[in-house]
């Protein structure tokens, strides 16, 4: 191969177009490590464009000419700036590295920026995130779910080299060694840590029964990644119940509000995640004692019932009970017979009295004593005034009837 300009291209060397090279660069920059990052540096070449966009570069602090990265902050994001950037100002710019293919130029698209020498900016940023995430409903207490009583697998999202994982393993092995601990390792502070934390949460979600997300204590800056919306949204999206254990008891991170339970320390989170084996064994022993006592009580009661049945089913006692029942049956039979006879007598007497009353009122009974009944066409003759001379009548006697004619009627003159 010749090294001078204008020399022939070596055989087999692929020739690219400018757009192809730009496309390759774009693909290379499409790396998760270059998205959602924060870059610390000094502002240089700052320009506030009339359109509202902000154009500038970031250089290494203390070494303006050592390294530069071009930055742009679109007016949508710039509207949230709480300070006016100036050349030489130390800032922390958060966003993603992208490439502008027409010019083959990569740049940092800044979404948020705070003064590096003003820690209050980060606190204001967290407050703004809190309001936005709360408006999304991610902090609603109604979303919180109960933790499983006896988890088989406990997922832990933390640094594999930190004290938090050691504390969690120690507590779980002591309290409930039956549980399997699955570590989903991640960085817990520094640039891009929030991306790793969110990924570690998603990686372990669904394959464990409960997840512990957290780290040991530290400064506000050390815990800052657990305030990032990416981490909060990853916690809120979990299908698995999550325990947040960031820092010490006095520390609070935004992921605490999205978790199903907040623990003051990683050790406390481990205690909440699994039951105490000693307490479980004591509870089981108590349940066993109560079950044995209940079983003995029931056996004793069943024994007494069998003895009573056996005594009642003894041949002599059974025979005596049969004789008693027969005697009572005979007595009842006699009483029923007496009651029946008495009632028959009462009914007969009542019937005779009724018959006598009926016979006394029978109009035909008087015919037995020689009287007769006079009947005319108008019916029974009750008065001499009902008859007229020459009228034909019927005389009804006890054993028959006869017909006669009225010759004369006396109207009570000789009566």
- For every residue of 177-194, DSSP letters joined together read TTSEEEEEE---SSTTHH
pLDDT of residue 285: 86
**Rounded CA separation 314/83 (Å):** 105
What are the phi and psi torsion angles at 276 (to 5°)? -90, 120
**Rounded CA separation 89/216 (Å):** 32
pLDDT of residue 141: 93
**In this predicted model, which residue has the larger pLDDT, 205 or 358?**
205
In this structure, the strands spanning 37-48 and 54-60 are: antiparallel
Would you call 206 helix, strand, or coil by DSSP? coil
How many CA atoms lie less than 13 Å away from 371 in the CB half-sphere?
8
In this prediction, residues 42-69 reach a mean pLDDT of 79
Q: Is the pLDDT of residue 76 over 70?
A: yes
How many CA atoms lie less than 13 Å away from 316 in the CB half-sphere?
0
Q: What percent of the chain has pLDDT over 90?
A: 36
**Rounded CA separation 307/311 (Å):** 6
DSSP state letter for 79: T
Q: What is the end-to-end Cα distance of the chain in Å, rounded?
A: 185
Q: What pTM, to 2 d.p., does this model score? A: 0.49
**Sign of the torsion angle spanned by Cα atoms 261, 267, 268, 270:** positive
Would you call 155 helix, strand, or coil by DSSP? strand
Q: Which of 32, 42, 39 is nearest to 111 (CA)?
A: 39
Q: Which of 107, 80, 109 is nearest to 93 (CA)?
A: 109
Would you call 163 helix, strand, or coil by DSSP? helix
What are the phi and psi torsion angles at 249 (to 5°)? -60, -35
**In this predicted model, which residue has the larger pLDDT, 35 or 104?**
35
pLDDT of residue 394: 87
Place of tokens 């520390």: 251
Ordered strands of the 379-380 beta sheet = 379-380, 373-376, 392-397, 400-405
pLDDT of residue 233: 96
Helices and strands (H, E) in the chain, number of each type: 10, 14
pLDDT of residue 62: 47
**Rounded CA separation 227/230 (Å):** 9
Q: Is the pLDDT of residue 61 over 60?
A: no
Would you mind telling me the total number of residues written for the chain in this entry? 415
pLDDT of residue 225: 92
Ranges of H-type helices in 216-375: 229-236, 254-258, 266-273, 277-312, 315-360
Supply the mean pLDDT for the chain.
Answer: 84
The CA distances from residue 362 to 333, 365, 398, in Å, are 43, 6, 13
In this prediction, residues 213-226 reach a mean pLDDT of 87
In this structure, the strands spanning 180-185 and 153-158 are: parallel
**Interior CA angle at 414 toward 413 and 415, to 5°?**
95
What are the phi and psi torsion angles at 206 (to 5°)? 95, -15
pLDDT in tens, 352-380: 888 877 776 666 767 777 778 888 887 88
Would you call 65 helix, strand, or coil by DSSP? strand
In this prediction, residues 162-167 reach a mean pLDDT of 92
**Rounded CA separation 92/399 (Å):** 147
In this prediction, residues 311-321 reach a mean pLDDT of 73
């Amino acid at each position: 191969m010749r090294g001078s300009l204008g020399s022939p291209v070596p055989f087999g060397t692929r020739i690219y177009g400018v757009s192809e090279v730009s496309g390759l660069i774009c693909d290379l920059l499409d790396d998760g490590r270059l998205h959602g990052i924060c870059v610390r540096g000094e502002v240089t070449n700052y320009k506030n464009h009339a359109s509202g966009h902000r154009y500038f570069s970031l250089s290494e602090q203390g070494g303006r000419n050592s390294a530069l990265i071009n930055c742009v902050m679109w007016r949508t994001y710039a509207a949230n700036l709480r300070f006016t950037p100036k050349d030489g100002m130390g800032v922390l710019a958060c966003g993603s590295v992208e490439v502008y293919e027409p010019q083959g130029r990569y740049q940092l698209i800044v979404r948020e920026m705070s003064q590096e020498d003003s820690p209050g900016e980060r606190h204001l940023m967290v407050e703004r995130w809190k309001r936005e995430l709360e408006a999304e409903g991610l902090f609603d207490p109604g979303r919180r779910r109960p933790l499983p009583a006896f988890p088989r697998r406990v997922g832990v999202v933390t640094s594999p080299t930190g004290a938090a994982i050691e504390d969690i393993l120690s507590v779980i092995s002591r309290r409930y060694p039956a549980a399997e601990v699955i570590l989903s390792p991640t960085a817990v502070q520094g640039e891009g840590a929030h991306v790793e934390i969110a990924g570690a949460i998603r990686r372990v979600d669904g394959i464990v029964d409960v997840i512990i997300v957290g780290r040991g204590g530290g400064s506000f800056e050390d815990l800052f990644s657990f305030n990032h919306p990416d981490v909060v949204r990853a916690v809120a999206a979990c299908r698995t119940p999550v325990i947040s254990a960031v820092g010490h008891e006095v520390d609070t991170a935004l992921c605490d509000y999205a978790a199903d339970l907040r623990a003051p320390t990683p050790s406390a989170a481990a205690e909440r995640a699994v039951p105490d084996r000693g307490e479980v064994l004591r509870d089981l022993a108590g349940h066993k004692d109560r079950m044995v006592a209940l079983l003995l009580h029931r056996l004793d009661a069943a024994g007494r019932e069998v003895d009573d049945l056996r005594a009642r089913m003894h041949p002599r006692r059974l025979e005596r009970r049969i004789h008693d029942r027969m005697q009572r049956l005979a007595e009842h039979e006699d009483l029923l017979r007496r009651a029946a006879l008495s009632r028959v007598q009462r009914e007969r007497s009542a019937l005779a009295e009724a018959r006598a009353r009926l016979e006394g009122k029978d109009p035909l009974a008087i015919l037995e004593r020689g009287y007769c009944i006079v009947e005319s066409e108008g019916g029974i003759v009750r008065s001499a005034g009902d008859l007229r001379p020459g009228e034909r009548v019927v005389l009804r006697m006890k054993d028959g009837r006869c017909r006669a004619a009225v010759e004369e009627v006396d109207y009570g003159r000789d009566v």
